Amino acid sequence: MTLQQRWLLPFLFVLVNLAGCTGMFQQAATAALNAERERAGLERKEIALPDGLRYVYLEGGQGEPLMLLHGFGGNKDNFVRAARTLTGHYRVIIPDHIGFGESAHPPQADYAPPAQAERLRALARALGISSSSHLHLGGNSMGGQIALAYAAMHPDEVASLWLLDPAGIWSGPKSELAETIQSGGRNRLIARNEDEFAELFHYAMSDPPFVPRPILDVLAQERIRNADLEERIFRQIATASVEQQIKGLRTPALIVWGAEDRIINAGTAEVLHRLLPRSTVIVMPGTGHMPMLEKPRQSAEDYLHFRAALPAE
């Protein structure tokens, strides 16, 4: 257990005990999330784009903008612990993707990575980040896939990429999840009840942060409500390869992979490394699909070192 988890443990136990007496587990979960955001120097905000789509996002810090993109089924809070190390250096922006979290959920929208990337570009403009700004992108899983699509479509607008177990590189070795789905098994990334969400929590991470089961059940409700839309989104991203679009892309990139990732095989890191000529690879032992949640400080410090080594603009 990390120092961060030890700090959070007694706080969560107090909240759970309080919730057990009052029946207010939702308030307990909200209080825990708000405490994490406050410690990271992040504030919840929302904005409507000109097309009417509403984004909810976290923002904090100053400096060059760093937009962090959560993965499939995740939300903006997936990056909060890592952001605690980053907000002292950059203007950190962490949106809920359209279709997830508190942002808009248009049922018939195009959720393929290029469409999501264009929406995020519109969000960046709405937040005052122009095409000449040094926008840095980071993304986990589907978020990394979207970040790669963004950089491929607008290479002059993306200063660097932080790719944590990114999706969209489907020529790599098959993962445990891919083999399960291809053999007709259940897609374990979709949670339709509390037990499936708890199973997913431990399936996605080799070293997950401590969360008491009653709080986990509260967090599960967002996924359960969104399961039908997630099924549709998964079909779009699972067939969307970005390999041809990014081949030879010269954007500096830090590729991070959990050695024990069961969702996307860690061997994919080398495939991506060959596609991106200015990339560096870090494989994290004892880590699953979400390094920024499993080892937030190490992930963030590795990123700071990567950024410090970039040539001055």
Distance CA 19, CA 138 (A): 35
CA distances from 75 to 25, 58, 143, 235 (A): 19, 11, 10, 19
φ/ψ of 154, rounded to 5, equals -135, 65
Distance CA 2, CA 15 (A): 20
- Mind giving me the DSSP string for 155-202? GGGEEEEEEES-S--TTSPPPHHHHHHHTT---TT--SSHHHHHHHHH
89 is catalytic: no
70 is catalytic: yes
Task: Please give the structure tokens belonging to residue 118.
Answer: 């264009």
- In terms of Cα–Cα distance, which of 89, 90, 84, 86 is closest to 39? 84
Half-sphere CA count of 137, side-chain side, radius 13 A? 32
Catalytic residue among 103, 141, 175, 206: 141
Strand partners, 138: 68, 162
Strand partners, 95: 57
* Contact by Cβ (8 Å): 182, 291: no
- Mind giving me the DSSP string for 270-292? HHHHHH-TTEEEEEETT--S-HH
The angle formed by the CA atoms of residues 9, 193 and 146, to the nearest 5 degrees, is 80
Q: At a CB cut-off of 8 Å and minimum separation 6, what does 166 contact?
A: 139, 140, 141, 143, 144, 145, 147, 148, 255, 264, 272
Give the catalytic positions in this structure. 70, 141
